Structure 1
């Protein structure tokens, strides 16, 4: 039986969605669903073996509005046995680069998930060869943990 993967993301400018798409190119042999985080009940994660959570960072290291409720709902969910990877886009112009990714990483660890140790943080959109390689490497680490 094939394992199920969800890519759940919040994206305002499209950068985090672009990262999600880039990561999704390297998820074989798994089938995946891409879901927008806004208005999504976090309990859906129990239906998946692997979860990739993506967000951009708002202001001075805050979760974006679209991600706050989902993040808070994770308090009620046991993620033991789930493999989770956290990723996001950010802008080095702000003092706390991709801090919202850290908020999610800390939350899923607290909830018992097996986590891709190094979260994926990309400056704005994934355009450079280095960015694309980071997306691939992150995806392959996730796949390895899930198999």
Structure 2
């Protein structure tokens, strides 16, 4: 599949996920010829998802395993929109030290929602190197996407983004 455009949609309350979205956008732009744009879900019409060949969705896990409020409102506005095989990757920010029972739960919530709508989930990420007890964001021993621990492992963020973005571009290049 030739990917000409990638939409990096994010929700951010403290700015950590927005900062990660900007860095992911920068790295994806540098590594491909695709038009890559970062877009906040706050106030964005869900039909904008269809303007891109592939999607990268970022959401922090809020409180005890909830979606960030911008994503909650965005999903409500989606109605019954279907994704019909559209490649979708996820990234999330969280705090594994304070919330070890719900670390990266938002990824799992979004992944379930987009899978239900027919999206093709890509970009899974290993759980090795993380300390947490439970997560809805893990399936078959891997996170649905890039897990960023913005409170306890911020120093690893740039290298994780670089590695995951390269992985993501490889996966997109191999899609039929």
The two structures share one fold, judged by TM-score above 0.5: yes
Shorter chain as denominator, the TM-score bin is 0.7 to 0.9
Structure 1 regions of 5+ residues with no counterpart? none
Task: Give 1:63's match in structure 2, choosing from 67, 76, 81.
Answer: 67
2:146 — aligned with what? 120
Give the TM-score normalised by structure 1. 0.87
Q: What is the distance in 2 between the residues matched to 1:131 and 1:2? A: 25
Q: Match for residue 142 of structure 2? A: none
C-alpha RMSD of the superposition = 2.0
> Which residue number in structure 1 is paired with residue 14 of structure 2?
13
Matches of 1:2 and 1:124, distance apart in 2: 29
Gaps of 5+ in 2: 125-144
User: What does 1:52-131 align with in structure 2 at a 5 Å threshold?
Assistant: 52-74=56-78, 76-92=80-96, 93-94=98-99, 95-118=101-124, 119-124=145-150, 127-128=154-155, 130-131=156-157
Whose Rg is larger? Answer: 2
Alignment size in residue pairs = 146
Q: Which has the higher contact order (CA 8 A, sep 6+)?
A: 1
SS at structure 2 position matched to 1:52: strand
Deviations 1:65-109 (CA, angstroms, capped at 9, x unpaired) = 111021234452221231111111101201301211211112112
